[in-house]
Chains A and B, each alone.
Chain A
Amino acid sequence: MRYVEEFRDPKAAKILIAAIARVADQIGATREKPVHIMEICGGHTHAIFRYGLDKLVHEGIEFIHGPGCPVCVLPMSRVDDCVTIAERPGVIFTTFGDAMRVPGTRKSLIQAKAEGADIRMVYSPLDALELARRNPGREVVFFGLGFETTTPSTALSIQQAAREGLTNFSVFCNHITVPEPIKALLDDPHMVLDGFVGPGHVSMVIGVHPYDFIAKDYGKPIVVAGFEPIDLLQSVLMVLEQIRDGKAEVQNQYARVVPEHGNPISLAAIADVYERRPRFAWRGLGEIDASGLRIREKYLAWDAETKFGIGYAASPDDEPEGCECAAVMTGRMKPTACPQFGRGCKPETPLGALMVSSEGACAAYWTYGGSRVAAE
């Protein structure tokens, strides 16, 4: 696989790991006084554990796993809404695969499917659109979920449905944005972060400038990164060099994919179809201003919230007893320090948000054994 294998080259990795160690020593980072770097995106969390990067880099570097796993941060009440819609007679409910197992307060979509709801896994909202064309007598609802990476394709499917006059298609919109929760984390008085590795696929859409406030207003470095191990190691090195040199800039390690100003066609589709909600609830983080999107008035005919009379519930969920997802997500606690980790909360029976998807920090710890290995 060209353009993939090169970025998994062990020789290049060794060179970068050595360079990271040098700069970490120059900064004076130690196991006791580590540099805290947050990888925002769940894809990065997954890659760090899959390749064991957390154990290969200098011991003075601690990865804090950010809120960038859309399945993990979805409030349980929104899963309940999905189930309610899916259980309506005549509805075909379509979703990305990894949302199937997310627990609601009553049940998950996979349980609702077993009980008879017509729920189908799709790989793109365009698949849902095709289902709507082929089933004119059914209402096909797409579970719109994810950050700026998936937002444009949902927007395009709504625009296409509007063009075709396809009235039996709608989107249950739960799209959220990356910069706002980062700001919320930076405003948290408990915050211990020294720098960020930014999600490359989000910036492919929005460019790098939406992160300017991180450097300008909060004085923290951020490097927009690709998803292969070499990308991640190089980005960590770039963050460390900024810290060493007393700089705080937005840098782009993933320039082979990320244009400085993003993708204008995607941005236009997003602007045409969505507007900001005043606030939106995040599992583990609570409500965050302007962090969620809803469908604009001119496309309300394709808005499942409108069609099914579902409102946005103002209060975020109460997390289950003993669940420390909020502390983990703000970097105050390691997943393994949570009293429920591996006990009440496992991938097969997730309690909290971060154990739900394979990209959640706790699930990654559990699956790849970051600290199951260390702890035992």
Chain B
Amino acid sequence: MSQTLELKKVEEPELTFTQWWKNVYLGIKTTFIGLKITMKYVWAVKPVTIEYPEVREELPANSRSRLFNDAENCISCLQCSVACPVDCIYITAVKRDADAPKIKTKDGTAIKLDLKQYTIDTALCCYCGLCTTVCPTECLTHTTDYEYAQYTLAAMKYDYLAPDIRAWRHRIVKD
């Protein structure tokens, strides 16, 4: 195989002695201009980073983090699971008995279905917020919790009817 590789080079004027000195001068000058800018950051600028485990950042109020469903106000309309683009909301509901006592949500909508299962796979969730916008009773909301790492994938599945998740309802929902 005979092939000549040539270094692609743009034609430049020949380097004269004056040009060489000019290059050295420009190199030193512009480096000092840069150093002047960076040196300011050594003393004159306050640190902006947050030292995480000691200082925890407060997220804005409408931040889209861990989902929470206040199951007592849920009417099992399935709109959230339909709107979900990744299908991570699993709902099972059965029809309420006719002779059972009539219950209502906080805003007065009658609950006609008994919620048997309300599970969100948080590992699958893409936090797009589409499910919260369609919720008619506004029981499904994003919270500002952001520290919820788990050891297993199964632990990321939140069953909102389970007692342990009902426990942190009191922290989030202000009655």
Partners in one complex: no
